[in-house]
Amino acid sequence: MQNDEVIIRFNNISFEYNHAKPILSGVNFSVRKGSKIALMGQNGVGKTTIFQLITKALMPESGSIAVAENMTMATARQVIPREELTKTVREFFESAFSKKIYDIDPRIDRVLEVVHLAVPHDRPLKKLSGGQQARLLLAYALIQDPDVLLLDEPTNNLDKAGIEHLTKFLAEYKKTCIVISHDSEFLNAFTSGVLYLESSTQTVEQYVGNYHAVVSEIAARLERERMKNARLEQDIENRKEQANFFGQKGGHMRDVARKMREKIEELESEVVTVRQEDKTIRNFIIPCQEEATGILLTLTSVTVMQGHKPEAQSVKVQLRRKERLLLMGPNGIGKTTLLEHLASGHALGEHIAEGTRIGYYRQDFSTLDFDATVYQALANVAANHSEQELRSIAAGFLLDERILKTKIGALSEGLKGLVAFAQLIFIRPGLLFLDEPTNHINFRHLPVIAKALDHYDGALVLVSHVPDFVKKIRIDQTLDLGALTESNVTHKPISTKTAPEKKSKVKSKKQK
């Protein structure tokens, strides 16, 4: 239960990277014990930086951060660092402690039960699915039993059951929690306040209330500011005309003009800086490879995980140009592995039409060169486009000159996602594989991305656990890997729109 004890306080905090990228400017806010706070802001604006300042992984340029004495903290990160993926589950949890824990295995069992994950302790992290890794990241923070839990995009990669379980856990959680997430329904279920990081001023505004109420309050505030600016600008313009008129007169009229100009300066100081938070990526089209025709993808079998063991299952999938397949199933069933094998041409029972150009959006962004700059990443796939076209497309994804000069590895996960989408425009794929494309992406951008995918003219295979996003895209077939593992399931293609998910292997809109 929240009380009046302040356990974290930011006092006039300013921070920038390499004296070239201002992130925070004179930030003030406080966090009370037992509160559940959402941290909002656009992709790349500095939300994760605030977490790093709270934990002292980064130090501010100026100002002070006060943390209650003996307060322990743990962060559930967005992703497992690439260099740690060779660790086993046990080694990963051992790294959460500064000293050897002799009862580590029973502790792991208890915390894995909390996050509804069952994996062998000796399994390498790289063998886990994205959803399993997401649960493991939360368990890594929980096993430390911290006073303050910091969650960075915890719902990414989680299936519906995982999100429901996490939501219930946080609603009942007795300690302090600060969450970065773009999932509005998830946040609204348990938050009691919002820290709103405003990109144009690099300041933080603090609000009390559940997420939906705060978002409405912010929208109303933006509208009030817009209307105030409009009135001020009209008043200023009228006074300027009058001041110019009186200034041309002699005597007392010049004094009137001078006072009017002083009033104009006063009014101009009241004009509120137009916020940048409402910026959304521009509508875009992913062009399709012109030569991609006929049946582009045939799939006669897939490998699914059954009790941590791979099993081959027969399916019958054919995708032509303009057809879309939704790949479904619980975390750990093998969706990401299947997409990876499809994109590389190594999937069992797979045939891709010769000459078909493939676009592949990976949830871990490993198709991007983390050592390259954003400009280099786009230029490498934009051979037939002019410099002006490249920069115009980049600007449409909010990738400005500063970001273009930044290395991929230094970007936020959300900005990496925007770079990956920008690349697809230059690639012009005939067959597109998308693995959880909503992860890390600002909710304002999702309708634009869904529209682009809905209008894509090539064949598309999509993995997503976000129903509202999937509803915006026409789906022709559904392949439920979870249903393939059920006993006595017979193959019966049925409608994706009206048929129940259980008891279906492959559902096709064309066979009702």
Mean pLDDT by 10 residues, the chain (512 residues): 81 83 89 92 83 93 93 90 91 92 93 89 90 90 93 84 86 92 84 86 86 80 80 82 76 75 76 60 95 92 82 91 93 87 83 93 92 96 91 94 92 92 96 92 87 96 89 94 61 34 46 42
Question: What angle (nearest 5°) sits at the alpha carbon of residue 179, between those of residues 87 and 53?
Answer: 75
Residue 326's contacts (CB-CB under 8 Å, 6 or more residues apart) are 462, 463, 464, 470, 475, 477, 478, 479, 496
Distance CA 427, CA 358 (A): 8
Residue 451 near residue 284 (C-beta atoms within 8 A):
no
Distance CA 368, CA 375 (A): 12
Distance CA 121, CA 143 (A): 14
Q: What confidence score (pLDDT) does residue 275 get?
A: 56
Largest distance between two CA atoms of the chain: 100
Q: What confidence score (pLDDT) does residue 273 get?
A: 59
Concatenated DSSP letters for 105-161?
A: HHHHHHHHHHTT----TTSBGGGS-HHHHHHHHHHHHHTT--SEEEEESTTTT--HH
Q: What confidence score (pLDDT) does residue 13 get?
A: 94
Residue 156 near residue 134 (C-beta atoms within 8 A):
yes
Q: What confidence score (pLDDT) does residue 433 get?
A: 97
Sign of CA dihedral 132, 187, 173, 53: positive
Look up the pTM and report it: 0.68
Q: What confidence score (pLDDT) does residue 271 get?
A: 67
Strand-pair category, 36-40 with 431-435: unpaired
